[in-house]
Amino acid sequence: MFKSFSSRKIFRVIAVAIVFGFLIFWNPNNFFDFFRGIIFRVAYPFQKVLFISSDGTKQLGIFLSSIGDLKTENAKLNDENLRLAAENAMLRDMKKENDLLREQNDLFLRDRFEAQTAQVIGRDVHGVGNWIMIDKGSNDGIAEGMPVVVSGRNLVGYIKNAYAGTSQVMLLSNPESSINAQAGSNEAKGIVKGEHGLGLILDDVLQTDRINVGDEVTTSGIGADMPRGLLIGKINDVYASPDHLFQRATVFQLIAPIDLRFVSVIKSGQ
Amino acid sequence: MEKFFFRLAAIATIVFLQAYFFASFSFQGCVVSFALMAAVAWTIISGFEKAWVYAISLGILVDLLAFDAVGKNAILFIFAVYIVSFISRRLLIESQGWSFLLVFLLIISVTFFNNFLVINFFSWQGGAVEFFSGGMASFFKGVLTGSFCNIITFYFLYWAIGRMEKRLAFYESAVNIK
């Protein structure tokens, strides 16, 4: 009787569900990381080619669908460019002055980061935007916890897993992500948490601290897991937490992590 | 032996396309379930007896590349393949006129079941699921948009895997004659 039952489809389904259910419950992450590392090594050349093709196809689609808006967008960007060029010139002067003053007062220069540039070669398979993969790994000096930035000091995430030649970057919008941050000129302290690829929340801000729409949110450097001063985003909306003990704010990132192609990993510095 | 490596290459190709190509394309928040549709197509073409191994292999590889808990997609795929195995190939593809509707209903069922299990896994792992306060509408919307994406890939994969299996069967019969 057992033989006839064991040859049935349902037996196989139940057996598979039990075995893999046990594996999920046991959840030996480190055990499967070894096999992941091997598969990533094998998949690396295909990964790069496929990802670049998909990105190219996507960009072509976006271009074709936005042809009508190009003229307006172009004019807007030209104006923005001029404004930013003027602002850039002013900031360059201020930076020179700042560096000089820091040297004279024996302080470290602000931009002393050792960074490794990497290309994005993979995205969250489920399309939720929780992580990306880059083409640098432990062989290039990448380690878990290192911050990942774009365009200088825009924080987009940190290294979650480093394999030999590739690394997984947990994006700030990942619900598991939690970064010590500060907002506004008063440096109101809080924690930036991810919301399933949809956006960021600045949480646990004291009611006595003042935060406003448009304030910049940066890393606070508390806990020494992230350097201080990396830009996370700007405040979009401020409201009370459900228990009314703290303030919360939605934070929008100036860079859309889903469109990233190149990033920098900060290996050391301040 | 050649057949084994051929099928292994096919499974690897399907999983790599799912993980590295289709991950960049999101339609209304849904990504094509390329590997799941391959498992479904394989079941219709080759039957449950052969397809369940391919489904588990696809599931494990997707789990490894997607940084999911290993086993999650394997369970999802084996249940989907079990459901599909009750529909015969003749009924599904060769019946005149109704075949497209049957295929569409099948894909909706599989997508619904897959999304439902994913939500349960997510909830079981500690995630917050607001199913009954507005979440149900977005769940069903996700099922419909997912089904729309999946039905196109299903037809492509049914054709591609069907051709591959025919070739392998022809090669096997040629070897036997020799």
DSSP B102-130: HHHHHHHHHHHHHHHHHHHHHHHTT----
- Whole-angstrom distance, CA of residue B151 vs CA of residue B107: 6
pTM for this model (two decimals) = 0.78
Residue B130 has pLDDT above 70, yes or no: no
Instruction: Let me know: does A40 contact A32? Beta carbons within 8 Å.
Output: no
**If pLDDT is split at 50, 70 and 90, which confidence band does A3 have?**
low
pLDDT digits (tens, 9 = 90+) for A47-100: 888 988 888 888 888 888 777 777 788 888 888 887 888 788 788 888 888 877
- Higher-confidence residue of A207 and A8: namely A207
Instruction: Let me know: does A176 contact A186? Beta carbons within 8 Å.
Output: no
Residue B21 to residue A50, Cβ atoms within 8 A: yes
Q: Name the maximum alpha-carbon separation found in chain B.
A: 66
pLDDT value at residue B128: 54
| Mutation to test the B interface, candidates A14, A20, A134, most B Cβ within 10 Å | A20
**If pLDDT is split at 50, 70 and 90, which confidence band does A244 have?**
confident
Residue B74 has pLDDT above 70, yes or no: yes
Choose the closest CB to A125 out of B23, B75, B79: B23
Instruction: Let me know: does A176 contact A221? Beta carbons within 8 Å.
Output: no
Tokens 């046990």 identify what position?
A: A22
Listed by number, the residues of chain A in 93-122 with a beta carbon closer than 8 Å to a beta carbon of chain B are: 121-122
Residue A23 to residue B61, Cβ atoms within 8 A: no
Whether A166 and chain B come into contact, CB under 8 Å, resolves to: no
Whether A197 and chain B come into contact, CB under 8 Å, resolves to: no
Q: What is the mean predicted confidence (pLDDT) over B25-30?
A: 71
Name the closest residue on chain B to residue A160, using Cα atoms: B67
Of the candidate ranges A69-78, A231-240, B83-92, the one whose mean pLDDT is the lowest: B83-92
pLDDT digits (tens, 9 = 90+) for B91-105: 655 555 667 777 788
- Whole-angstrom distance, CA of residue A154 vs CA of residue A236: 17
b/e per residue A207-236 (b: at least 16 CB within 10 A): eebebeeebebbbbbeeeebbeebbbbbbe
Q: What is the mean predicted confidence (pLDDT) over B127-151?
A: 70
Residue B56 has pLDDT above 70, yes or no: yes
pLDDT value at residue A153: 83
Residue A248 bridge partners (DSSP):
A239
pLDDT value at residue B14: 94
Q: How far is CA A101 from CA A95, A98, A209, A220, in A?
A: 10, 5, 31, 23
Which residues in chain B touch residue A175, judged by CB atoms under 8 angstroms apart? 127
How many CA atoms are closer than 13 Å to the CA of B113, on its beta-carbon side? 19
DSSP annotation of B27: B
Residue A125 to residue B30, Cβ atoms within 8 A: no
pLDDT value at residue B17: 92
How many contacts, defined by CB atoms under 8 Å, are there between A and B?
A: 101
pLDDT value at residue A201: 92
Residue B70 to residue A121, Cβ atoms within 8 A: no
pLDDT digits (tens, 9 = 90+) for A145-177: 999 998 878 899 999 999 989 999 999 988 889
CATH topology of domain B2-177: Arp2/3 complex 21 kDa subunit ARPC3 (1.10.1760)
Would you state the structure tokens that stand for residue B13, as one six-digit string? 């190709």
Residue B148 has pLDDT above 90, yes or no: no
Choose the closest CB to A58 out of B25, B72, B85: B25
| DSSP string covering A238-267 | EEE-TTSSEEEEEEE-SS-GGG--EEEEEE
Choose the closest CB to A127 out of B21, B23, B69: B23
Could you give the domains of chain A? 9-65 (no CATH), 70-110 (no CATH), 178-252 (2.40.10.350)
| Mutation to test the B interface, candidates A125, A174, A261, most B Cβ within 10 Å | A125
| Mutation to test the A interface, candidates B11, B22, B24, B36, most A Cβ within 10 Å | B24
Of the candidate ranges A42-46, A59-63, B86-90, the one whose mean pLDDT is the lowest: B86-90
